[in-house]
Amino acid sequence: MAGGMICQKGRNLLPHSFGSRPWLFQMHGSKKQTCIFLDPINNSLEERILHKLQGKECLGCYGEWVLLSDEVTRECYFLNIISFSKIYLPPFPQSPDFFLGSVSITSPPNTSNCIVILVCSQKTFLLICSLDRKKWTKVPLKYFNKNVGSLMGPSVIHNERLFVLANMGSTLVIDVALLVRGRVKMTVIEHLRVCPVTNAWYPYLVKCAGDLFSIFVHAYGRGQMIIHVEVRRLELSSNEMHWRRVQDIGNHAFFLAGHCGRSLPANKAWGAQRNCIYFIMNCSDGVKLYKFCLEDQALGFTFLPDTNGGLNRLQWAFPIKMMQTVEEVVFNSSDVVRSAETDSTVINQEDETDSVISRRWDELPIELVELLFPRLSLVDCLRLPSVCKGWSKTSSFIWKGRVWPWLMHLPNLKYRSFKFFDPFNCEEYTLKSDAVLVARDQLTLRYSKDGWVVITEGNKRVFLLNPFTSQVINLPPLPRKDYIFNGISFTSAPTSPDFIVYGFLFQICGEFVEISSWRPGEEEWRVLEFWQSIPFFPSSNNPVLLQGEFYCLGRKGELGVFNPELETWNVLCKPEPIHLTVPHYGNEYCHLLELDGDLISVFRTDDVRTPIRVFKLDQSEKAWEKLEHLGDVTLFVDRRNSIAIISPEKKYANRIYVPWFEDGMNSKKGIFYCMEDNKYHPSMHRVEGPVTCVWMQPNLHLHN
């Protein structure tokens, strides 16, 4: 009966700690008679038989209340998962499978003025019901805007208005009071800019502390590789609403699943870290719980136990008493972070023993100090001149220190700094930069060579930066709006007279390529256009310069070659491709590297169960030769850039370092793939890594 309530105690049927922190739960409808409860903190799974939930589908979760529908009878009601109380709604007018969208409510289900609004995915109408009515009301939406499209599903009621996301990224804003009376007063917020390199994006709406946020998770490929998370806050200016990108959600955490998003005060006891977003993705190697930290712009994940039910059925459960808790725990990172800019060695030696003769450090001959540099790491070389005034004269010898690739990434723009991770010593350093100080839009690290990094700001500005010497070279604006290179490279160090930058842009059809070039002193890019008879689908890796020509690796494993002197582009018939067909974009990372005049290709996926494959180009046979061992070589690969070096120590050889860390309690450990046992080390169970990053090898030639 509508509005009726039946109470039955069922607390002992639930897991012991259920209700004390966020849990995931899953109902299987008529496919399975059990309900699964998953504790993400302990990564444990419990399966319970709950007769009240058998044959039911969960359409949404609101604190302690879940909205359920029966697949057979079309019965619909709210169920309190703590007390097992029920609040009935009228049966759905059609099969519940038809309603694949989201459900919004104006107030808690146990209040008399609760109104339920159901958004039907890929449709152009809403279903509305109040608890005192006996039927659902269908309200069509009529709008004429090419930027809207059909409804996607995510919706939320905020400030007496219903916000619904459409599949073109636009937002419909509908007056709820009029909607209940069958009238539609609607405003459209123009579509959000979608990450152009992805073919899948997952939108969410979250209310938090009086504000409304939209979250877009961008992925590409069937393996669902996450490459970007964009957060925006709704703002009102000149009586117009718009979304503004933000990098801080304060002392809160967002939890996303299905079409639902919820906010909670941060509390480490609940496993909720401040300024972080938790979401679930069904990837090729299993279901993963991701954590995106806006503070560091870092993305981490842990594998969830196999529920055999798919991603769409998982829901977050937040008891009301927990959501009303006002305790806010400020999170202090336990990661060891050292600053290469501010750290110095301070010697304050006071020996009280008369038998020991104290000598000042600056009395050591400078010639002996200079002999230390080739044996020191980069950071120690940076610190050594600050020991005393006399040693500051050795700064010109810093470049003699031992260097190897570091992972450079950009945390939150508000810190005005870059971070560097040393994979061999497992230490992270922070370096402030004026280049970040003047940035107004998202910075993306594209490429590195000779200690320089190519960075784009938004979709217009391009510049080169040597982060250790603070030198900046600004390039002309990109040729046109949303002109994004598939790959970028340059011929030599930017201070060399023959320095030229080349950018490669391939059309999605694979039959057309634009190659842009720029020399110092020129005011705009020079663009060459090439039509090709053989379709070429590039990897996301940057071109490699070898013997005066730029080599591009295709997703099949073929090679394309650009000759700058002759201004020609060709797709080579040999070597023959690794794959017979073009892999779906994002299914596999393809890397191309150069080492001592040889081309090396690397093929890997985000599936940790899949071995990494490494090939070397046989110059005489013009064929890829598979390598089982790297010898004394170490490789460093990220999504865009790759570096190969002769390992400085034997223990680091025969490894492939990827842009991920083991998420430890007090430190970070770089994750690498060992060619000896064909496994990742440490375990890839709980990892994190920056969203935008690049491997770079520092260049400290200060006279440049």
Question: pLDDT per residue over 401-454, tens digit each?
Answer: 567 899 998 876 666 788 899 999 888 888 877 766 666 677 889 999 988 999
Instruction: Among 50-59, 396-405, 664-673, name the one with the lowest average pLDDT.
Output: 396-405
Please report where in the chains the tokens 């057979």 appear, as a residue: 72
Residue 138: predicted pLDDT:
85
Cα dihedral sign for 288, 283, 553, 488? negative
Q: Which two tokens stand for residue 38?
A: 């998953």
Contact 188, 148 (CB under 8 A): yes
CA distance 97 to 74: 10
CA distance 531 to 549: 19
pLDDT per position as a tens digit, 286-302: 788 899 999 888 888 88
One DSSP character per residue, 521-582 reads T-SS-EEEEEE-SS---B-SSPPEEETTEEEEEBTTS-EEEEETTTTEEEE-S-SPPSSSSP
Short-list 237, 238, 249, 239, CA closest to 204: 249
Single-letter amino acid code for the residue at 571: V
Contact 669, 662 (CB under 8 A): yes
Is pLDDT at 20 greater than 90 in this prediction? Answer: no
Residue 142: predicted pLDDT:
74
Report, in angstroms and rounded to the nearest whole number, the Rg of the chain calculated over CA atoms.
Answer: 29
463-490 b/e (C-beta count within 10 Å ≥ 16 → b): bbbbbbbebbbebeebeeeebebbbbbb
Please give the mean pLDDT across all residues of the chain.
Answer: 78
Please count the CA atoms within 13 angstroms of the CA of 312 that sit on its side-chain side.
9
DSSP, res 90: P
In DSSP terms, which residues pair with 213 in a beta bridge? Answer: 206, 233
- Give the confidence band of 634 by pLDDT, cuts at 50, 70, 90: very high
Contact 35, 48 (CB under 8 A): yes
Residue 90: predicted pLDDT:
87
CA distance 372 to 386: 15
Contacting residues for 123 by C-beta, under 8 A, at least 6 apart:
101, 150, 151
Residue 126: predicted pLDDT:
85
Select the highest-mean-pLDDT range: 196-210, 256-270, 324-338. 256-270
Residue 549: predicted pLDDT:
94
Residue 166: predicted pLDDT:
79
Is pLDDT at 553 greater than 90 in this prediction? Answer: yes
Contact 206, 213 (CB under 8 A): yes
- Give the confidence band of 122 by pLDDT, cuts at 50, 70, 90: low
CA distance 285 to 303: 9
Sheet of strand 549-553: strand arrangement: 544-546, 549-553, 559-563, 568-571
Instruction: Among 253-257, 396-400, 493-497, name the one with the lowest average pLDDT.
Output: 396-400
Q: Tell me the C-alpha to C-alpha distance, in Å, between residue 662 and each of 331, 415, 425, 683.
A: 19, 24, 14, 8
Instruction: Among 320-329, 447-456, 680-689, name the one with the lowest average pLDDT.
Output: 320-329
Rounded to 5°, the CA angle 314-319-320 comes to 130
Contact 591, 552 (CB under 8 A): no
Q: What's the mean pLDDT in 358-385?
A: 63
Contact 270, 322 (CB under 8 A): yes
Q: What are residue 634's phi and psi, to 5 degrees?
A: -125, 135
Contact 109, 65 (CB under 8 A): yes
Q: Which two tokens stand for residue 109?
A: 């289900």
CA distance 537 to 507: 9
Is pLDDT at 347 greater than 90 in this prediction? Answer: no
Rounded to 5°, the CA angle 266-272-273 comes to 70
Please count the CA atoms within 13 angstroms of the CA of 131 that sit on its side-chain side.
19
Q: What's the mean pLDDT in 648-655?
A: 92
Residue 288 burial (C-beta neighbours within 10 Å; 0-12, 13-18, 19+): buried
